[in-house]
Amino acid sequence: MNILAFDTSTEYLSLALLKGEETFTFDINAGQTHSQIILPQIQVLLDSANMQLKDLHGIAFGAGPGSFTGVRIAAGVAQGLGFGANLPVVGVCTLMALAEASGVSKVVACLDARMGEVYHAAYVKDAAGWQTVIEPGLYKPDAVPAIESDGWVGAGSGWHTYSEILSTAYSGQVEVIQPALLPTAEAILKLAQPVFASGEAKSASEAMPLYIRNRVALKTSEREQGLRL
C-alpha cells in the first residue's frame, strides 16, 4: 500500500510517505510557512521515492486539535490532493498521534492550546490497538481530568509549557514525561494504515479539521497582547 501522510498542527511540518514496505519522511520547523512549503515538499518526497500522486492509495492527515490555521491547512491539502487524484482520506487525531509516537502503552497526551489551556486526552494500547480512556478535550492545566492507576507517560508540548501544574495534577501516576514530543506524520501514517486496510477511509470531501476549541478568532485586545489560538 502507498500512503502519503502529513501534519501541520504545530510549528513543524511533518511528512511521511509509505511505498510498499519502505517509509520516507521529512520534518522541519516551518514556523508559519506551512502553506508555502507543504506542496513543494510533498513533491520532493514523492520524487525521492520515484512516485507520482497517482501511485498513492490514500492520504492521511493530522486532523487536530492544534493550531487553527495549521489544521485547516492539513484538511485543505488533503481535500485538494484527494479530489485531484481521486484518493480516499483518513483524518487522525493529533493527540492519538502523540500517543503512537511515544513508544509506550499508557499516555496522557497534552498539546499547548495557548490562551492558558491544553488539548488533552488519555490512551492505553492493548492487543487491539489504542483505546481512548479520556476523550480529547480542552482544559485549563489545573483542571485536567483525573486518571486511574499509575505508570503513565506524559507526552506533548503541554507538558513543556505546564510541566509543574500537570505533574502536580498527576503526582504519582505520570512517571515519565516527553515534553518535546510532536504528533509526527509517521505516527499518523501508522494509525491510518489499518483504517485504509479495512476500507473505512472517507472521500476527500469529508477531510475535516478537529478543532475542539470553538473560538476561531482573537479579540483585538488579545492580538495586541501577542496571543495566538
Alpha-carbon gap, residue 27 to 167, rounded angstroms:
29
CATH superfamily, domain at 101-178:
ATPase, nucleotide binding domain (3.30.420.40)
Query: Would you call 199 exposed, middle or buried from its count of C-beta atoms within 10 A (0-12, 13-18, 19+)?
Result: exposed
Distances (CA, A) of 134 to 68, 96, 123, 172, 205: 22, 11, 7, 18, 28
Domain ranges for the chain: 2-93+183-224, 101-178
pLDDT at site 226: 53
Q: Which of 46, 52, 73, 53 is nearest to 62 (CA)?
A: 73
DSSP summary character for residue 101: H
Show the cell assigned to 15.
511528512
Domain at 2-93+183-224, CATH from 3.30.70.890, 3.40.50.360, 2.60.40.10, 3.30.420.40: 3.30.420.40
Cβ contact 207:91 at 8 Å: yes
| The two domains 2-93+183-224 and 101-178 share their CATH topology (first three levels equal) | yes
The pTM for the full model equals: 0.92
DSSP code of residue 20: T
The tens-digit pLDDT sequence of the chain (229 residues) is 999 999 999 999 999 999 999 999 999 999 999 999 999 999 999 999 999 999 999 999 999 999 999 999 999 999 999 999 999 999 999 999 999 999 999 999 999 999 999 999 999 999 999 999 999 999 999 999 999 999 999 999 999 999 999 999 999 999 999 999 999 999 999 999 999 999 999 999 999 999 998 654 444 454 455 555 5
Locus of grid cell 490532493: 81
